[in-house]
Amino acid sequence: MSTATKNHIGRKISRIRELRDMKQEALAQALGISQQAVSNIENSETVEDAKLEEIARALGVTVEGIKQFSEEAVFNIISNTYHNTSSDTSTLIASSLNYQPTFNTVEKIVELYERLLQAEKDKVEYLERLFNNK
């Protein structure tokens, strides 16, 4: 990986988003911006600190995690922690059951629900203002 790629925050955001199996549209919705704006961020070599904090929160990682993200580190972690010494599928299933996320999934669901609810409330309020002004 070249030095330019190592310091390209936008590419790191893109890879973390992809590893989280999140589409640009989902990240855009979580940030309250357009999908095109997410694309522009992912193509940017630098991102302002305030926006980077929002993105980190939406991705469920820390700002430092984004800045220090390394593709090699991800593969090293996977290869050092995943051992399938048996062709038995029960071993494979058992090893995947030991996964412990670093965030509370229920809190994330509630947080996303609250954001969605607020967006809907804002939309209704906006439409009511438009209707009342006519």
pLDDT at 109: 87
Q: Which of 5-9, 32-36, 104-108 has the lowest mean pLDDT?
A: 5-9
C-beta of residue 67 within 8 angstroms of C-beta of residue 74:
no
Pair of tokens at residue 1: 């990986």
**Element (H or E) spanning 125, and its range?**
helix 105-133
What is the band of 2 on the pLDDT scale with cuts at 50, 70, 90?
Answer: very low
Which of 52, 48, 50 shows the shortest CA–CA distance to 12? 52
- Percentage of the chain with pLDDT > 70? 71
- pTM of this structure: 0.54
Reported as a single tens digit per residue, the pLDDT across 21-74 is 889 999 999 999 999 999 999 999 999 999 999 999 999 888 888 888 877 766
CA–CA separation, 113 and 101 (whole Å) = 20
CA–CA separation, 124 and 128 (whole Å) = 6
